[in-house]
């Protein structure tokens, strides 16, 4: 995902910033930002009152007049991502890109993502997407294969080598 951004999108981006969708993903978000040589911003969610669904969102960092890459590990219904996109757009973000590893997209997740003001979704093939979901996201989604990564994991496991070292190389 990072390699794709660095080789295919970086040059056309205007003052890009990585935004972690919540503080729980902050450490991984920081790694994304470092590997793409970009600053990072965070979204903080707080429950308000007795309603478990009522959340206040706070953006920590600057996105105004910048291209934003929102990062997360997986997207299921798309609710948190939708909140994040709407927040950064309300704070003046230019183009918004989404990067997540696992496109679960249950319920109306694909439709929700398709309705958002985003330029591109970059994800992997770790979860299959139906033709219907792909149709909703047509023109907005890039799916990267993890086959070579899995092949290397199998090879290293077979050879008794460290799989963890792959992620430090």
List residues with catalytic annotation. 45
Q: Are strands 55-60 and 68-75 parallel, antiparallel or unpaired?
A: unpaired
Per-position DSSP letters for 39-56, written without gaps between them:
-EEEEEEEE-TT-TT-EE
Question: Which residue from 97, 78, 88 is spatially nearest to 43, judged by alpha carbons?
Answer: 88
Place of tokens 């023109």: 139
């Amino acid at each position: 995902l990072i390699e794709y951004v660095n080789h295919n999108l970086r040059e056309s981006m205007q003052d890009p910033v990585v935004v972690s969708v919540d503080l729980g993903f902050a450490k991984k978000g920081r790694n994304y930002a470092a590997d793409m040589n970009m600053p990072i911003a965070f979204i903080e969610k707080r429950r308000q009152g007795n309603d478990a669904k009522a959340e206040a969102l706070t953006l920590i960092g600057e996105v105004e007049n910048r291209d934003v890459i929102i990062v997360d590990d997986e997207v299921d219904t798309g609710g948190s991502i939708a909140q994040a996109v709407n927040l950064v757009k309300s704070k003046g973000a230019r183009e918004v890109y989404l990067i997540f590893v696992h496109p679960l997209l249950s319920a109306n997740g694909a439709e929700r993502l398709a309705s958002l003001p985003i330029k591109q979704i970059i994800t992997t093939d770790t979860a299959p997407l139906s033709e219907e979901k792909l149709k909703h996201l047509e023109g907005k989604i890039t799916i990267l294969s993890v086959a070579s990564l899995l092949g290397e994991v199998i090879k290293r496991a077979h050879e008794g080598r460290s799989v963890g070292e792959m992620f430090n190389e």
